[in-house]
Amino acid sequence: MTAQDTTAPAPTASTPPGDVPAWWRQAVVYQVYPRSFADADGDGLGDLTGITRRADYLAELGVDAVWLSPFYPSELADGGYDVADYRDVDPRLGTLDDFDAMVAALHGRGIRVVVDIVPNHTSDQHAWFRAALAAGPGSPERARYIFREGTGPDGSEPPTDWESTFGGPAWERVPDGQWYLHSFATEQPDLAWDHPEVRADFVRTLRFWSDRGVDGFRIDVAHMLTKDLTEPLPSAAEIEALPRDGNHPLYDRDDVHEVYAEWRTVLDDYDPPRAAVAEAWVDSERVPLYARPESLGQSFNFDLLLAEPDAAEFRRIIADNLELAARSGSSSTWVLSNHDVVRHATRYGIAPRGDGLAPRERAARWLLEGGPENGLDREHGLRVARAATLLVLGLPGSTYLYQGEELGLHEVADIPAERRQDPTFFRTGGAQVGRDGCRVPIPWTTDAGSFGFGTGDAHLPQPAWFAAHAVAAQETDPDSTLGLYRRALAARRRLQGAEELTWVETGRDDVLHYVRPGGWHVVTVFGDEPYPLDGGRVVLASTAEDGDADGARVPGWSTVWYLADEG
């Protein structure tokens, strides 16, 4: 028995229905939050040249693609998701030449590039919105956004009582008295997707980046673009009560797929066709609409990111999503962490479970009630996170990793109010702490200063405990979390066969066991009690403990990959 088996089946290309090779179906996609990845020019904000300089790191990690959160010119009212110009680079992050150099560096190492498209809203600094404000009520410039008269005798009340996703009212009044809709921050006015110029402009944007060699797109709040704002507008309570059946006035409308059908023809003009993944928070039954080949082609499922580390819950989610993906002809996506949620190592380390709260609410409460000192078991959380990651990386479909999870980073909870940036914090008056804690620049070295992130102070404060998680502190240790991710991604390349799995019944309700074609077994224990194995050659174990490498057992709160004994 060896801890790292080298006789696994050779890789076979994954080919979707229709015989079109599609790199994204089984890809490991690494999300870079550019302002917090690596700062080459020392201004405290990460930049594109920082990513270029870390291309070797990404190659060594073994990812297939990098997805960049927005790097476009932005006032940073929402971490870059307030885009002032969709076809340029924020000067603080570089230039278009820097972008080309980054793409060349990544492509040169076999890593694809996915960029973020934010079509529901622009920044209030976008040329269109400035023109809309300057041109006044009733102008063609205003027609690209959603302007309405107010209510009340003098129009000083908003058109409706709708709340923005980040808290506070969803309408903002402009000096001439009209109101505009912003589903997110005030600085993010919603676009009118029934306007032909809006539609044409995003096609230009897709072509612009595709022509520059981008391999795919992640579509921000893909379910929110089209709206039916026929008067009289419903109240917030009425909106809430309406079924989300494709005719809802604001969410997941059937007519949004006219947009994506057009986009798909544009993306398919390229060779290879450009990929796209929808960030669509919709009922699972409606996910296939976005994931169909004639639409965006793939859609995130966030079910695991919202789940307890529980065997039955994980199994149900995995089975449901594989079935949904098959129904659409797509492959499933798996996500445990991203830039919008408390890091999974932390979610899994917060006690108590069984408190009746969903993990997301528990994490929000933990952040509010003081963070680290308040019942976070760092070691346990990371142990469970490593097990969950290995479970997910064995699944058919593509896995999206979020920068820093490969370092075992926890959420940074204790960011002082005056350093916080997330509009959620401000718009809720601090009732929600927001998402800054997973967006803190990642540690590369153990050096004081900014832990090798850059030469200046990082734009969000990094805690002292980051040193132990630095790349430099883990690099040479195969059992570190970084070592585990590297070994897992390398081993996973041998697992690229048919997109199938078979469940093996374990007789224990805290143990999941599935097998992939080629006899590749994945066993996860969601509890303290080890689970005995019946032979097999261990490929990888999420927990390095005496006795695990021999394939005799899976320790508590761990995952083991093993290959069945032949014959």
3-class SS at 29?
A: strand
CA distance 87 to 102: 16
Interface with ligand NOJ, residue 99, by CB under 6 A: no
105 vs 118, beta carbon nearer ligand NOJ = 118
Pairing mode, strands 275-278 and 216-219? parallel
CB of 120 to ligand NOJ, least distance (A): 7
Q: Enumerate long-range contacts of 143-146, CB under 8 Å, 24 or more apart.
A: 143/192, 143/195, 144/191, 144/192, 144/195, 144/197, 144/198, 145/180, 145/181, 145/189, 145/190, 145/191, 145/192, 146/180, 146/181, 146/189, 146/190, 146/191, 146/192, 146/227, 146/229
Interface with ligand NOJ, residue 221, by CB under 6 A: yes
Hey, which residues between 339 and 358 contact ligand NOJ (CB under 6 A)?
339-340
Interface with ligand NOJ, residue 81, by CB under 6 A: yes
The one-character DSSP state at 191 is B
189 vs 408, beta carbon nearer ligand NOJ = 189
Tokens (6 digits) for 30: 């690494």
CB of 305 to ligand NOJ, least distance (A): 12
Hey, which residues between 495 and 554 contact ligand NOJ (CB under 6 A)?
none
201 vs 220, beta carbon nearer ligand NOJ = 220
CB of 421 to ligand NOJ, least distance (A): 11
CB of 175 to ligand NOJ, least distance (A): 25
Q: Which of 5, 220, 252, 411 binds ligand NOJ (CB under 6 A)?
A: 220
- Total residues in contact with ligand NOJ, by rule CB under 6 A: 9
Tokens (6 digits) for 93: 């992050």
259 vs 322, beta carbon nearer ligand NOJ = 259
CB of 220 to ligand NOJ, least distance (A): 5
Hey, which residues between 266 and 325 contact ligand NOJ (CB under 6 A)?
279
Answer yes or no: are the C-beta atoms of 271 and 289 closer than 8 Å. no
Tokens (6 digits) for 349: 């380390």
Answer yes or no: are the C-beta atoms of 536 and 515 closer than 8 Å. no
290 vs 514, beta carbon nearer ligand NOJ = 290
Hey, which residues between 110 and 129 contact ligand NOJ (CB under 6 A)?
118
170 vs 221, beta carbon nearer ligand NOJ = 221
Interface with ligand NOJ, residue 436, by CB under 6 A: no
Exposure string over 260-299, b if 16+ CB within 10 A, otherwise e = beebbebbeeeeebbbbbbbbebeeebbbbbbbbebbbbb
435 vs 521, beta carbon nearer ligand NOJ = 435
Distance from the Cα of residue 460 to its chain's centroid? 20
Q: Which of 72, 128, 179, 184 binds ligand NOJ (CB under 6 A)?
A: 184
Closest residue to ligand NOJ, Cβ-based? Answer: 81
CB of 78 to ligand NOJ, least distance (A): 5
Q: Phi/psi zone of residue 44: left (φ > 0), alpha (ψ -120 to 50 degrees), beta?
A: left
CB of 221 to ligand NOJ, least distance (A): 5
Of the candidates 556, 403, 560, 565, the one whose C-alpha atom is nearest the C-alpha of residue 484 is: 560
Q: Phi/psi zone of residue 418: left (φ > 0), alpha (ψ -120 to 50 degrees), beta?
A: alpha
CA distance 29 to 468: 25
Of the candidates 126, 145, 125, 142, the one whose C-alpha atom is nearest the C-alpha of residue 134 is: 142
78 vs 499, beta carbon nearer ligand NOJ = 78
Interface with ligand NOJ, residue 162, by CB under 6 A: no
5 vs 279, beta carbon nearer ligand NOJ = 279
Hey, which residues between 438 and 457 contact ligand NOJ (CB under 6 A)?
none
Question: How large is the angle between the packed helices 481-492 and 378-393, nearest 10 degrees?
Answer: 10
105 vs 224, beta carbon nearer ligand NOJ = 224
Residues that bind ligand NOJ (CB under 6 A): 78, 81, 118, 184, 220-221, 279, 339-340
